[in-house]
């Protein structure tokens, strides 16, 4: 089963490089530059447009739309909803990153609006964010998952991801020490990565951008989600091996370098993926 999915991810990766999809981001200003650079590194093309007067036009020419609620305001909420609805009309995949869902009323309300009004292709979040969306008890630490939620167990995570996927008709991805990706029928466990990634702002946002890049190149959104997450995990490992002892600044740069140097052989050698 592992070999089958690695081959599918490798094919999707090659399609990203062939198609060079335009990925429209309405994302947060803390990590916007990182998201743009990681999108370029994987072989796609980023565009960031959040004004309500142009989001529909930019979405219309894009191959995928990424919505990220890391730094919210009422203006961008309306832009996200307009872009999401336009993407749905044009059958353009939408990837949603509910950053900090559960932490404030604004984030909670916005998450509910997006889930209600926009058909998602992939929903990616940490365990606290996804538990909140599932209606379960969650104790978020701002934009990070709490230790209590992280330690809720792999079996519980698989069940939650499957339930969310079925409820919203999308691929649900929970990123953590072991990443869980489900379309409601098939659930994949991904085991690449390093704890050092948690010490750098934006690795989750960049992971979502990588998923968006894959979604812009393949209609298999389970594979797209797995591909984006594997890219980040493998890149984190490679960066840690190269400069991990030098500090988080060097690691940050090395992650983008590692993604830009990613190839099919590296996937074959390093990807750790199997079906639950």
Residue 216 near residue 44 (C-beta atoms within 8 A) = yes
Strand order in the sheet with 94-97: 45-48, 22-26, 64-68, 94-97, 122-125, 171-174, 179-182, 187-190, 273-275
Q: Per the annotation, does 206 bind a ligand?
A: no
Q: Is 262 annotated as a binding residue?
A: no
For helices 248-260 and 221-243, the axis angle rounded to 10 degrees is 130
202 marked among binding-site residues:
yes
Nearest of 124, 118, 68, 129 to residue 93 by alpha carbon: 118
**175 known member of a binding site:** yes
274 φ/ψ angles, rounded to the nearest 5 degrees: -155, 160
Cβ atoms of residues 118 and 85 within 8 Å = yes
Binding-site residues for ATP, in ranges, read: 124, 175
Binding-site residues, in ranges, read: 48, 124, 175, 202
Binding-site residues for substrate, in ranges, read: 48, 202
């Amino acid at each position: 089963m592992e070999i089958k999915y690695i081959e599918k991810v490798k094919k999707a990766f090659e399609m990203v490089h062939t198609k060079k999809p335009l990925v429209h981001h309405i994302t947060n200003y803390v990590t916007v530059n990182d998201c743009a650079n990681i999108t370029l590194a994987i072989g796609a093309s980023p565009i960031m447009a959040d004004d309500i007067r142009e989001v529909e036009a930019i979405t219309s020419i894009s191959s995928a739309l990424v919505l990220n609620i890391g730094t919210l305001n009422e203006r961008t909420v309306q832009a996200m909803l307009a872009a999401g609805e336009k993407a749905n009309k044009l059958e353009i995949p939408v990837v949603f990153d509910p950053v900090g869902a559960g932490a404030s009323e604004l984030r909670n309300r916005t998450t509910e609006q997006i889930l209600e009004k926009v058909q998602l292709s992939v929903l990616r979040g940490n365990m606290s964010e996804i538990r909140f969306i599932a209606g379960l008890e969650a104790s978020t630490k701002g934009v990070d998952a709490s230790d209590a939620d992280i330690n809720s167990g792999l079996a519980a995570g698989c069940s939650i991801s499957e339930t969310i996927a079925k409820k919203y008709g999308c691929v649900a991805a929970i990123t953590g020490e072991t990443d869980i990706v489900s379309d409601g029928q098939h659930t994949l466990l991904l085991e690449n990565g390093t704890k050092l990634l948690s010490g750098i702002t934006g690795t989750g946002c960049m992971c979502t951008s990588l998923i968006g890049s894959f979604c812009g190149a393949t209609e298999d959104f389970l594979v797209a989600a797995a591909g984006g997450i594997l890219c980040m995990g493998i890149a984190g490992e490679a960066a840690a091996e190269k400069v991990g002892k030098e500090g988080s600044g060097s690691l940050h740069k090395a992650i983008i370098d590692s993604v830009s140097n990613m190839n099919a052989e590296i996937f074959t050698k390093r990807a750790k993926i199997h079906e639950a």
